[in-house]
Amino acid sequence: MFSKTKSAPGILTSIEGIPAGLVNNHNEAFFYWMASGVKNAVLFHVDAHPDMNGAVNVGRIKSAYDYDEMSPANFICPAVNLEIISSIYWLNPHSIKRKLQGLCVTETEYGKPLRSKLCFIN
């Protein structure tokens, strides 16, 4: 399933029969998302940070091993642009006012790549 040119990050395991990748850095999760072939998945992101900062040239991402083109702070948007993820629900465990925030994905005008907008769910 994976290339031998570079080792996979973390550990691939199973939790109650569900495949799970255990990783140290958040962007390493991208490896397992892309390698699995999943498309249009819903992401439930539990973190104090959105991990959607900064730009990534998705044209440079050719395989799951390109997860190192991203950082722990910006790995989610490339997954949206590559249609691995279609919707995101973000739970910030440190937020007092709004515990659950959703990132709604919409297409931009003129056929440009997917663009995201932040929505709040009360």
- The answer to whether 69 and 56 have CB atoms below 8 angstroms apart is yes
Cα angle 97-91-116, degrees, rounded to a multiple of 5? 100
Whether the Cβ atoms of residue 50 and residue 90 lie closer than 8 Å to each other: yes
Task: Give domain limits for the chain.
Answer: 11-121
| Under 8 Å between Cβ of 34 and 82 | yes
3 pLDDT exceeds 60? Answer: no
- Report the alpha-carbon distance of residue 62 to residue 34 in Å, rounded: 10
Model pLDDT, residue 118: 46
Per-residue pLDDT for 120 more than 70? no
Q: What is the pTM of this model?
A: 0.73
CA pair distance 19, 36, nearest whole angstrom: 10
Amino acid identity, residue 13? Answer: T
In this predicted model, what pLDDT tens digit does every residue of 46-101 receive, in sequence order?
Answer: 888 888 887 788 888 999 999 988 999 999 999 999 999 999 988 888 776 655 55
Mean pLDDT of the chain: 79
